[in-house]
Amino acid sequence: MGEETDDKRNFALREASGEETSVFTGKIPRQAALKAARKLAPSDSEEAASREEFRLRERGTHKLHIYEGWAWREDAPEDSPEWMPETVTEANVSKEGIEHLEEL
């Protein structure tokens, strides 16, 4: 782990219309997908969370990573810093596949 940040990749959240509305950064697609999933409306528990499909296009490529994601609220850990809220949003994702776009 050096000081280089070149290994970060950008993934654009792609709507059904083809519009790209947000960009999430990660070394691997799953890391960016977890960040995107935390933006979903959180449920009270992981079991109650509804799953939503979303697509991330890796910037500079025609690869579309398809994920199912869900988010939920959880109490912050006992040893959390004072600035952290009492409840935090957790998320998980499941990779559904990859599509290749014909054109952008």
Tokens of 68: 């199912």
Does position 47 have pLDDT exceeding 70, yes or no?
A: yes
Q: Are 28 and 56 in contact (CB under 8 A)?
A: no
* Mean pLDDT, rounded, for 39-44: 96
Q: Phi then psi for 33, rounded to 5 degrees?
A: -65, -40
Relative to beta strand 87-100, strand 63-75 is: antiparallel
0.95 surpassed by pTM: no
* Average pLDDT, integer, range 15-33: 95
Expressed in angstroms, the distance from the first to the final Cα of the chain is 34
Check whether 33 has a pLDDT greater than 50: yes
Per residue in 64-100, pLDDT (tens digit) is 999 999 999 999 999 999 999 999 999 999 999 999 9
Confirm if 74 and 88 have CB atoms less than 8 A apart: yes
Q: Give dist(CA 95, CA 31) in Å, integer.
A: 11
